[in-house]
Structure 1
Amino acid sequence: MTPATAPPLTPAAFQVLLALAGGAGHGYGVMAFVEQTSGGTVRLGPGTLYRTLARLVADGLATETEGADPDAPHDARRRYYELTALGREAVRREAELLAAFVEAARTAGLLGERRCA
């Protein structure tokens, strides 16, 4: 599968890949990223998260890695994941697609102008 032939990502897959775009991460870190980024409006439950990770690994968009945070307490059960090149391209393409939809919403008057704080 290539990014050009892959269907659009599910919201959960996009959120997980986006969380991993900053570097390798573990499940709890991915869940925290999604919750923080959404202002608490989106929460990935463990079942959704780990099914999504398994699918992303099976599809070649993410991989389980040996990398770990040396400052974190050791937990042999903690698994770390990272994007593959294919995953990085897929999440980039999905972000561009979503940006186009956001722009269409703005043009339709559904979103106000973005104001700087």
Structure 2
Amino acid sequence: MREPTYFILAALQDEPLHGYAIVKQAEELSGGRVRLLAGTLYAALDRLTSEEMVRVAEESVVNGRARRTYELTEQGLVALREEAERMAAAAQAVRGRQVRSVAAVRTVLT
């Protein structure tokens, strides 16, 4: 799963959100690493909707513009949790190893 997709799903885990709120929540959750542009966000939401990971919770008109609120589906929550577990296991594989020497650290960093 790509990082933007992960953080879109993560943004929706607590409550349904509209597009701009998803952008802000994803940025906050990622520590500023993920900054979604509108085109990227809505393409991802369309894909996630077709994959049944998110669904439109509500449609309304605000200041003359259509606004959709999206929510995470059960399938989306399962995918999010599986990806979180996969990333945690991958991080543990690195963190759990001892470096044999300072020379090895220098070799890895260069």
TM-score (norm. length: structure 1): 0.73
Q: 1: CA distance between counterparts of 2:53 and 2:27?
A: 22
Q: CA RMSD in A?
A: 2.0
1:28 is the counterpart of 2:17: no
1:93 is the counterpart of 2:82: yes
Consecutive unaligned residues in structure 2, runs of 5 or more: 100-110
Bigger fraction of residues in helix: 2
| Residue pair 2:13, 2:72 contacting (<8 A) in 1 also | yes
TM-score (norm. length: structure 2): 0.77
Q: Which has the higher contact order (CA 8 A, sep 6+)?
A: 1
Which of the pair has more CA radius of gyration? Answer: 2
Q: 2: CA distance between counterparts of 1:79 and 1:109?
A: 49
Q: Deviations over 1:30-59 (max 9, x none)?
A: 110121122222211111111100000001
Number of matched pairs:
97
CA 1:106/1:67 → structure 2, altered by over 3 Å: closer, same or farther?
A: farther
Cross-structure match for 2:73: 84
Consecutive unaligned residues in structure 1, runs of 5 or more: 1-8, 69-73, 111-117
1:57 is the counterpart of 2:49: yes
Q: Which portions of structure 1, spanning 4 or more consecutive aligned residues, are displaced by more than 3 angstroms? A: none
Q: 1: CA distance between counterparts of 2:24 and 2:97?
A: 32
Bigger fraction of residues in strand: 2
